[in-house]
Amino acid sequence: MLEIKDVFKTFNKGTVNEKVALNGVDLKLNDGDFCTIIGGNGAGKSTMLNAIAGVWPVDRGVIFLGDKDVTGLPEHKRALYLGRVFQDPMMGTVADMEIIENLAIAARRGKKRSLRWGVTKAEREKYREMLAQFDLGLENRMTSKVGLLSGGQRQAITLLMATIKKPQLLLLDEHTAALDPKTAAKVLELSDKIIAENKLTALMVTHNMHDAIAHGNRLIMMNNGKIIFDIQGEEKKKLKTSDLLEKFSVASGGQELDNDRMLLSK
Amino acid sequence: MDGFLDYFGSLDPSLFVAALPGNIAQGILWGIMALGVYITFRILNFADLTVDGSFATGGAVTAVMLMNGSPIWIAMLVAFLAGITAGLVTGLLHTFLGIPDILSGILSQIALYPINLHIMNKFSNLPIKVDNYGMVFTSNSEKMNICGLIMSMRDVYTAIIVAAVIAVIIMAIMYWYFGTEQGSAIRATGANPKMASAQGINISIDKIVALALSNGLVAFSGSLLAQYQGFADVNMGRGSIVIGLAAVIIGQVIGEAIFRKNFNFILRLLFVVVGGIIYYLVMGIVLWLKMPPEDLKLFTAIIVAVFLAIPYLRGKSKNSFKRVVKMNRKSAKLEVEKNA
């Protein structure tokens, strides 16, 4: 489904702030893979997701989505194949537009935007049913401005927007990191449900090792712009956080996992 | 003290009343211009200064086309298209050449000055004499001419009606357009470009489209004002961005105060035009108070500053450090009184 070959990306090349963010990344996801990504700060997790989404061109390497080479496509053209949820709940929705308007914009992802009405009557019913499944009471607030919703509700809406038109790949970039633990658990549960029901292929970046182990069928660990650990299937099910810490220490050459957030969420 | 009384004694209310229709007509015309500013300033979140140039372009094109015997409808259409072109240039400077928004607008504005002079054949001022062309709509049926001007200050009441009808039509079109798939995409682009990109919207194209439409509308209103005042002037757009912003902001502050949560999109558009009218009424009062006309722009700046500050100060008064201290003192006092 997704294939990344030998991808490099360096930011601020030739300056004192030069940062090698991706240092030869190779990754192949199979259809239906739900892969979690962990790693310390600056390991390249979000950078890899941004490279897939086409936020900027990579320096080198190729990215395939299905049979399609998307390396040369800009962000708005790749959007046709992707669904994305960001860390910042403000980022994925337009605060000043109604819930239903946000959903309608997402439903037209990859289509030419015509002079027909932005939201049709038939859509309204469809979205009401979809929102009702969330059990957040949003189905009765469809004409409310998204800005009035809580962070968790906004992430739920963004999640629905990302999957309303079935994407070939769903990119979740620490989408629960800005939420309180209870809401985060709820949004994660919702993500699981949507991914399972629609049989989606997904990549989820997280700082929480428990979540990384508990969700999905595959786990990769990144360090210094490289994938240093890749585990799936039965093996992943048996994984413990202590294993992960050890793996990290070995793979990174005795380096300690010096990320407070990761340690605390052990 | 005597001087003071003399001053007030010399103010004649009937003069103010006599100037009222003219102020209303101009207010609506500038309100139409402000609808163009609304597209960039509010919907696209782009402070576009091109309008000072494109407004004059609209007037210049209209005057020259009429002089060359073109029917008014064609002249107005070409004025609209000329404005669209100006907006396109600003959009290209911003998106494809990466020039920051305010700067790309300023560049277009500066470039338009000589272009407008060229359009007007190096004349800085061209007359549009209603006697030469006649009028399409007029209360005086003898001078009716299907190819004539669509408004003139010669017939202020007709001008008010025609301008109001045009304003309503434009509001209806804008209401429709920004409700379509394309219009929604432009709104998303202005409000959250990151989200727009992630949803497959080409934000560069959408910015260009919005800038083009905005400047087309501004040039169209420039055409209307040139007809109304009976001449086109290369300087007629100078400071128009400030008047446009004044209309947008005055309308918003007043509309929000009246409708609060029910201040929806169509009302917002309506109150842009209402803002234009209020602005010209205030200007009328300023002139009636015998303030020197050359200071008008100064008053414009003051009015805009006041209306921009109102929402901020109101928010601050409800949410300030001083207020907390005051409230705490008050409750402490009450406590003491209760105990006593």
**Tell me: the pLDDT tens digits for B245-285?**
999 999 999 999 999 888 999 999 999 999 999 999 998 99
In percent, how much of chain B has pLDDT > 90? 69
- What integer is the mean pLDDT of A93-97? 95
Mutate to test the interface with A, among B175, B177, B184 (most CBs of A within 10 A): B184
State yes or no: pLDDT of B121 exceeds 60.
Answer: yes
Q: What is the ipTM of this complex?
A: 0.89
Residue-level pLDDT at A253: 63
Residue-level pLDDT at B130: 86
Residue A180 or B318, more confident: A180
Whether residue A252 contacts residue A228, with contact meaning beta carbons closer than 8 Å, is answered with: yes
Residue-level pLDDT at B161: 96
Minimum distance, in Å, between the CA of residue B240 and any CA atom of chain A: 28
State yes or no: pLDDT of B141 exceeds 90.
Answer: no
**Which of A79, A95, A101 has its CB closest to that of B200?**
A79
Nearest-angstrom CA–CA distance, B32 and B251:
13
Assign B337 a pLDDT band (cuts: 50, 70, 90): confident
State yes or no: pLDDT of A264 exceeds 60.
Answer: no
Which range (B7-11, B26-30, B330-334) has the least confidence? B7-11
Angle between helical axes of B240-259 and B51-67 (0-180°, round to 10): 110
Q: Does B113 lie at the interface with A, CB-CB under 8 angstroms? A: no
Q: Does A110 lie at the interface with B, CB-CB under 8 angstroms? A: yes
State yes or no: pLDDT of A251 exceeds 70.
Answer: no
**Tell me: the pLDDT tens digits for B214-251?**
999 999 999 999 999 999 999 999 989 999 999 999 99
Q: Do A84 and B198 touch (CB under 8 A)?
A: yes
**Tell me: the pLDDT tens digits for A133-173?**
888 889 899 999 999 999 999 999 999 999 999 999 999 99
Mutate to test the interface with B, among A70, A81, A94 (most CBs of B within 10 A): A94
Minimum distance, in Å, between the CA of residue B177 and any CA atom of chain A: 7
Whether residue A74 contacts residue A127, with contact meaning beta carbons closer than 8 Å, is answered with: no
Whether residue A203 contacts residue A37, with contact meaning beta carbons closer than 8 Å, is answered with: yes
**Tell me: the pLDDT tens digits for A188-236?**
999 999 999 999 999 999 988 889 999 999 999 998 899 988 998 888 8
- What integer is the mean pLDDT of B181-205? 96
Q: Do B188 and A105 touch (CB under 8 A)?
A: yes
Nearest chain A residue to B43, by CA: A96
Minimum distance, in Å, between the CA of residue B37 and any CA atom of chain A: 19
Q: Do A94 and B192 touch (CB under 8 A)?
A: yes
Q: Do A53 and B198 touch (CB under 8 A)?
A: yes
R_g over Cα of chain A:
19
Residue-level pLDDT at B13: 84
Query: CB atoms < 10 A from the CB of B202, how many?
Result: 20
**Which of B184, B191, B199 has its CB closest to that of A118?**
B184
State yes or no: pLDDT of A99 exceeds 60.
Answer: yes
Minimum distance, in Å, between the CA of residue B190 and any CA atom of chain A: 9
Whether residue A202 contacts residue A214, with contact meaning beta carbons closer than 8 Å, is answered with: no
Q: Does B191 lie at the interface with A, CB-CB under 8 angstroms? A: yes
State yes or no: pLDDT of A9 exceeds 80.
Answer: yes
**Which of A80, A97, A108 has its CB closest to that of B187?**
A97
A149, with CB counted inside 10 A (0-12, 13-18, 19+), is buried
Whether residue A167 contacts residue A106, with contact meaning beta carbons closer than 8 Å, is answered with: no
Residue-level pLDDT at A252: 64
Assign A254 a pLDDT band (cuts: 50, 70, 90): low
Q: Do B200 and A118 touch (CB under 8 A)?
A: no
Residue-level pLDDT at B142: 61
Those residues with Cβ within 8 angstroms of residue A82's Cβ, 6 or more apart along the chain or in another chain = A52, A53, A65, A167, A168, A169, A170, A171, B198
Average pLDDT, chain B: 92
Residue-level pLDDT at B204: 97
Q: Does A147 lie at the interface with B, CB-CB under 8 angstroms? A: no
Nearest-angstrom CA–CA distance, A220 and A200:
18
CA angle A47, A51, A57 (to 5 degrees): 120
- What integer is the mean pLDDT of B114-136? 92
- What integer is the mean pLDDT of A67-94? 94
Q: Does B200 lie at the interface with A, CB-CB under 8 angstroms? A: yes
**Tell me: the pLDDT tens digits for B33-75?**
999 999 999 999 999 999 999 999 999 999 999 999 999 999 9
Nearest-angstrom CA–CA distance, B9 and B324:
48
Which range (B219-233, B279-293, B308-322) has the least confidence? B308-322
What pTM was estimated for this model as a whole?
0.90
Minimum distance, in Å, between the CA of residue A160 and any CA atom of chain B: 12
Assign A77 a pLDDT band (cuts: 50, 70, 90): very high
All domains of chain A in start order, with CATH: 2-81+167-264 (3.40.50.300), 95-163 (no CATH)
Q: Does B29 lie at the interface with A, CB-CB under 8 angstroms? A: no
Segment (H or E) for A65: strand A60-65
Minimum distance, in Å, between the CA of residue A266 and any CA atom of chain B: 32
Q: Does B264 lie at the interface with A, CB-CB under 8 angstroms? A: no
State yes or no: pLDDT of B144 exceeds 80.
Answer: no
**Tell me: the pLDDT tens digits for A34-74?**
999 998 888 899 999 999 999 999 999 999 999 999 999 99
Q: Do B197 and A79 touch (CB under 8 A)?
A: yes
Assign B143 a pLDDT band (cuts: 50, 70, 90): low
* CB contacts, 8 Å: B179 with chain A: 117-118
Nearest-angstrom CA–CA distance, B302 and A216:
61
* CB contacts, 8 Å: B187 with chain A: 94, 96-97
Q: Does A76 lie at the interface with B, CB-CB under 8 angstroms? A: yes
